[in-house]
Structure 1
Amino acid sequence: MKTKFKMITLTAVTALTLSFGAQSFAASQPFSDLNNVTAKDKIISLQEQGLVHGITNDLFAPNVTITAAQGVQLIVNALDLNLDLVRFLKEPKATDYFKNANDKAWYANALITASVNGLVLPADLDPNKKWTREEFTHQLISTIESHSNLPMIKLVPVEIADNADLTVDYDGSIQRALAYNVVELDDKGNFHPKAEISRAEAAVQIFNAIEYIKAHPGPTVSPEPAAPSGKRVPGSTDPIIPGTK
């Protein structure tokens, strides 16, 4: 069972600098192993923004499959998820949320940040499990929709040739990913949902998602009027942090 924490306000829990993999290095020079990668420009752009790092100072390893922990870390960093408005009465541990996690691992803070920010991940998540295309896409789309205030769209479902291979719960996310131009089908109309996703493929999805968010800002939300005498506006509440009530 997950340990439930009460939250107060403000904090600073130091975020890991790792953004993509168990090892990460400062981007001091362009990756040298992207010459035959069609998404080279997108990966370099993310590198320049500090959103992806290599397995060494100049190697990105585009064809290596990402793990669940690496995928979560990438989403957390790319969407700038953090714990800046949260303070724990007890120091949080990754194992409070995910029983198979290692509290001393490089990914520990990313898992805590992901859970507090509402990523719906199983309590028995295996951080070292290879993630599939559908798993990463579902988590990415669900997260950007929760945190980016995207405008509503009229979704026209796309026919996916290998739709029968999709996990039912992910079908909507994949359709929206296609509508947002975050992913695309191959020349035969297949998505290959059960195929393991590579570092290059994940980076491309992140780049495309960021571009969509920039191009489609959500409607401006007017702030609530200030309550007199410093009192709370009726009906307003403290932020509810998923999994911590």
Structure 2
Amino acid sequence: MKARKLMALPIVALLTLSFGQQSFAATTPFTDLNHVAAKEKIIALQEKGYVHGVDANRYMPEAVMTAAQGIQLIVNALSLEADPTQTGKPTLNVDPGEWYADVLQIAIQNGIELPADFDPNKSWTREEFIHQLMVGMEKKNHLPMIKIAPVEFADSDELTVEYQGAIQRAIVLKIVQLDADRKLHPKEELTRADAAELIYHALEYLQAHPGPAADTPKS
């Protein structure tokens, strides 16, 4: 697994995405994307107001995300909202004063299952993020269940068993792209560039295939 030496960024430096945000033209291009494969996708998200850098000129694409930051990104990207009717949902043993406390609860209320020993400060892997992104998409948008033929790829034996279904669906729906060697790199730490590319494809898919629940208010 490729080593990542960059520390996870604080919450203020995260991607922030919302369908409700007003679009705006990027006034200053990021200067640290020249050698990033997802450069055009990051810029496209920035121009729509979905992605922000750590400052006016830097995106820091190789910085890693923690589990709490990844959950916040999914909640924001999918416009998940708190549901006061879901009072019976389990809660995590987290300090209610932490910035991520409400975000985690919103995720749980929207069907994203987090383990009791969820560590918000743990660096998230690609497979963990992909799995939770797919769960969030499917729950929020009521995506139809489809029969798929499992896709073979070079490092499929590295997948965590419980993530296999969601990741296979993500590949079939083209939310996830395998590399030139047909590898997914599931155990690599999630970077801001990784997250932006996955979010780009997820939003692209949802815009082309809006689910029946997308415009249906909760009762």
- TM-score tier by shorter-chain length is 0.7 to 0.9
Cα 1:220/1:123, change in 2 over 3 Å? closer
Matched-pair contact (CA < 8 Å) for 1:21–1:66 = no
1:35-74 pair list within 5 angstroms: 35-74=34-73
Q: Residues 21 and 55 of structure 1 are in contact (CA less than 8 Å); yes or no, is this contact kept in structure 2?
A: no
- Structure 2: gaps of 5 or more residues: 1-8, 17-25
| 1:126 match | 119
Query: Could you say what the CA RMSD is over the residues aligned between the two structures, in angstroms?
Result: 2.8
Q: 1:22 aligns with which of 4, 8, 11?
A: 11
Where in structure 1 are there 5+ consecutive unaligned residues?
1-19, 90-95, 224-237, 240-245
Aligned to 2:19: none
- Check whether the contact 2:32–2:60 (CA below 8 A) recurs between aligned residues: yes
User: Which residue of structure 2 aligns with residue 149 of structure 1?
Assistant: 142
| Counterpart residue number, 2:104 | 111
Q: 1:55 to 1:163 in 2, by over 3 A?
A: same
TM-score (normalizing by structure 1): 0.71
Aligned residues: 197
Alignment identity in percent?
49
After TM superposition, give the deviation of residue 199 of structure 1 in Å: 0.8
Q: Does 1:215 align with 2:208?
A: yes
Q: 158-167 vs 27-36, which deviates more?
A: 27-36
Structure 1: distance between partners of 2:166 and 2:86:
32
Distance 1:88 1:143, change over 3 A: closer
Tell me how far 1:70 sits from its aligned partner. 0.9
Q: Structure 1 residue 182 and structure 2 residue 182: aligned?
A: no
SS in structure 2 of the partner of residue 170 of structure 1: helix
Q: Alpha carbons of 1:153 and 1:49: their partners in 2 closer, same or farther (altered >3 Å)?
A: same
CA distance in 2, matches of 1:107, 1:44: 27
- Provide the C-alpha distance between the structure 2 equivalents of 1:136 and 1:149, rounded to a whole number of angstroms: 19
> Residues 1-33 of structure 1, C-alpha deviation per residue, up to 9 Å, x if partnerless?
xxxxxxxxxxxxxxxxxxx95124898643222
Q: Letter of the 1:66 partner, please give it.
A: M
1:151–1:217: 8 Å Cα contact kept in structure 2? no
Displacement of 1:154: 3.5
What's the TM-score, normalizing by structure 2? 0.79
Deviation at 1:151, TM superposition (A): 3.7
